[in-house]
């Protein structure tokens, strides 16, 4: 392309036609050019020369103090090359004239393609060579297509702290419980501190190695991993991670925890506990034993969740450990325990009352295994209904866990006794005092060692 004002001067008419242009005598050192290509202040002459009766054309120019010459069969080819050389001389790119015409065509075509992307030719070639080495024999275009399918929907490369902050805000807006939010906040802020970069760059082995380095119990590790899995599932839903790819933490397995045998109360032990319980402890013991509700869930409930007319206890999604609503039937004996109570406000009015329950068991020389009330309910309930699915719905657990851990621990006869435990005469006159700091217990006016 010629710049305005640049000229291509020719001193002979149609010198490329051998009929109109007979062979010329040998040119002396003062021979004049037949054409002159100019671009800006740069000019490149075109000379006619003969060899063996053939007319040829040459261009002549200087680079680095040396004279360079190129020969062509036609004047048009020589003029075209001379114009190109003049442009390159003016642009300070004389070295490009070393390329052959077809090489320059490829060069210009490549530059034209890359101009649309704003990428220099050298950078493109460098990137291609690196990709070619990594890809081996695989097709780069096929690999790029697959990459686009997998990562094309990602809206941006969000950092782990950004995703954590967004998740906590949304869960709070959705009404998640304070306890659940506290667990998420503690675990995920700690995780974000360790992995502050893009969440897309976090790998499964990274997460596993970090959890192992904390030197915590298997149960705690599993609890933290579940929170992290919630984070990555949320990130995938927000298009911060590819939805067609398994996330990093989905590849990390929960630690297999060796579970102790399920320990339950006998009907006689439960009767002894309830018949000595003061009114403030009855809701905890009775609802735990005859509905199987988790203690953490019971802490979140108020008496509005207990409908004695419809005989149900409603655990809303925000109150349940599994974040899903469930309805628990109230048995006849549970209704008998709850009816005389004042049912206003929170069911568990003070957190310290939960420490009083195992203290009462100790005062009565009864061992208090972990989750004993829930384990007892599930074991006796499945003996009555003979359906793991039904008990799983009521207890907020999976049928496989119910079937594996609780089936055939009790008999229907024992279950009938369990759900027949009723209040005794004088039940509501019971009194129990417990001083945790001093370890002092007083039951119905008598101090217990």
CATH of the domain at 369: 1.10.443
Q: Exposed, middle or buried, 253 (CB in 10 Å: 0-12/13-18/19+)? A: exposed
Residue 428 falls inside a structural domain: yes
Answer with the residue of higher pLDDT: 138 or 378.
378
- Note the pLDDT tens digit of each residue in 279-292: 999 999 999 999 98
pLDDT at 246: 63
Above 50 in pLDDT, residue 100?
yes
Residue 234 falls inside a structural domain: yes
Distance, in Å, from the CA atom of 209 to the CA atom of 218, rounded to the nearest integer, reads: 14
Answer with the residue of higher pLDDT: 387 or 41.
387
Answer with the residue of higher pLDDT: 103 or 339.
339
pLDDT at 179: 72
Above 80 in pLDDT, residue 77?
yes
pLDDT at 334: 96
CA distances from 431 to 32, 130, 153 (A): 127, 80, 64
Same domain, 334 and 309: yes
**Where does the pLDDT of residue 321 fall: very low under 50, low under 70, confident under 90, or very high at 90 and above?**
low
pLDDT at 422: 97
Same domain, 299 and 235: no
User: Which domain covers residue 358, as residue numbers?
Assistant: 267-448
pLDDT at 113: 80
DSSP H helices in 238-365 = 267-276, 282-291, 295-300, 332-338, 353-363
Same domain, 416 and 277: yes
Side-chain-side CA neighbours of residue 170 (13 Å): 12
Distance, in Å, from the CA atom of 313 to the CA atom of 291, rounded to the nearest integer, reads: 8
Residue 125 falls inside a structural domain: no
Among 9-13, 268-272, 369-373, where is mean pLDDT lowest?
9-13
CATH code (residue 229) = 1.10.150
Q: How large is the average pLDDT for residues 207-231? A: 88
Same domain, 105 and 223: no
DSSP 316: -
Q: Exposed, middle or buried, 387 (CB in 10 Å: 0-12/13-18/19+)? A: middle
DSSP 43: E
The answer to whether 215 and 260 are in contact (CB under 8 A) is no
For the chain, what is the domain count?
Answer: 3
Q: How large is the average pLDDT for residues 6-25? A: 41
pLDDT at 20: 35
pLDDT at 332: 95
Find the helix or strand (DSSP H, E) in which 63 lies.
strand 54-63
Same domain, 302 and 330: yes
Name the percent of the chain lying above pLDDT 70.
81
Same domain, 411 and 291: yes
Above 70 in pLDDT, residue 70?
yes
Length of the chain: 449
The answer to whether 334 and 286 are in contact (CB under 8 A) is yes
**Where does the pLDDT of residue 23 fall: very low under 50, low under 70, confident under 90, or very high at 90 and above?**
very low
Distance, in Å, from the CA atom of 85 to the CA atom of 43, rounded to the nearest integer, reads: 9
Q: How large is the average pLDDT for residues 146-161? A: 66
pLDDT at 309: 93
Residue 154 falls inside a structural domain: no
Same domain, 296 and 393: yes
Above 60 in pLDDT, residue 365?
yes
pLDDT at 16: 44
End position of a domain, from candidates 57, 86, 115: 115
The 446-448 sheet, strands edge to edge: 432-435, 440-443, 446-448
End position of a domain, from candidates 58, 86, 115: 115
Distance, in Å, from the CA atom of 156 to the CA atom of 208, rounded to the nearest integer, reads: 25
**Where does the pLDDT of residue 272 fall: very low under 50, low under 70, confident under 90, or very high at 90 and above?**
very high
Above 60 in pLDDT, residue 405?
yes
pLDDT at 7: 43
Side-chain-side CA neighbours of residue 2 (13 Å): 14
pLDDT at 22: 38
Mean pLDDT score of the chain, rounded to an integer?
Answer: 81
Above 70 in pLDDT, residue 1?
no
Among 17-21, 31-35, 295-299, where is mean pLDDT lowest?
17-21
End position of a domain, from candidates 115, 149, 174: 115
**Where does the pLDDT of residue 306 fall: very low under 50, low under 70, confident under 90, or very high at 90 and above?**
very high
């Amino acid at each position: 392309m010629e710049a305005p004002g640049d000229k291509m001067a020719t001193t002979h008419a149609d010198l490329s036609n051998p009929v109109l242009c007979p062979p010329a005598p040998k040119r002396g050192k003062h021979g004049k050019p037949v054409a002159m290509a100019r671009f800006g202040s740069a000019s490149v002459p075109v000379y006619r020369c003969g060899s063996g009766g053939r007319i040829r054309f040459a261009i002549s120019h200087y680079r680095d103090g040396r004279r360079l010459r190129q020969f062509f069969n036609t004047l048009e080819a020589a003029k075209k090359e001379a114009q190109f050389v003049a442009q390159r001389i003016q642009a300070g790119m004389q070295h490009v004239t070393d390329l052959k015409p077809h090489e320059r065509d490829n060069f210009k075509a490549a530059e034209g393609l890359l101009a649309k992307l704003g990428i220099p030719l050298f950078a493109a070639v460098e990137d291609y060579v690196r990709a070619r080495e990594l890809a081996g024999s695989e097709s780069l275009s096929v690999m790029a297509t697959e990459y686009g399918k997998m990562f094309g929907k990602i809206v941006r490369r969000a950092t782990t702290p950004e995703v954590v902050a967004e998740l906590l805000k949304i869960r709070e807006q959705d009404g998640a419980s304070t306890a659940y939010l506290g667990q998420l906040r503690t675990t995920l802020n700690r995780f974000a501190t360790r992995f502050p970069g893009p969440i897309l760059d976090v790998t499964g082995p990274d997460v596993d190695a970090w959890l192992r380095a904390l030197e915590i119990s298997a149960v705690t590790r599993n609890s933290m991993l579940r929170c992290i899995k919630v984070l990555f599932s949320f990130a995938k839903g927000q298009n911060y991670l590819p939805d067609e790819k398994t996330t990093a933490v989905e590849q990390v397995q929960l630690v297999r925890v060796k579970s102790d045998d399920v320990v339950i109360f006998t009907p006689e032990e439960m009767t002894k506990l309830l018949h000595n319980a003061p009114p403030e402890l009855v809701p905890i013991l009775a609802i735990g034993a005859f509905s199987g509700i988790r203690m953490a869930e019971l802490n979140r409930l108020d008496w509005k969740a207990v409908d004695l007319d419809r005989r149900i206890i409603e655990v809303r999604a925000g109150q349940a450990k599994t974040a899903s609503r469930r309805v628990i039937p109230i048995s006849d004996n549970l209704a008998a325990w709850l009816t005389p109570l004042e049912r206003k406000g929170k069911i568990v009015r003070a957190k310290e009352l939960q420490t009083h329950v195992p203290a009462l068991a100790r005062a009565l020389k009864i061992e208090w295994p972990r989750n004993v009330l829930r384990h007892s309910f599930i074991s006796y309930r499945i003996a009555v209904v003979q359906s793991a699915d039904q008990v799983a719905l009521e207890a907020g657990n999976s049928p496989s866990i119910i079937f594996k851990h609780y089936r055939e621990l009790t008999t229907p006869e024992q279950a009938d006794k369990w759900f027949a435990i009723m209040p005794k005469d004088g039940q509501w006159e019971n009194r129990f005092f417990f001083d945790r700091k001093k370890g002092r217990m007083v039951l119905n006016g008598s101090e217990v060692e």
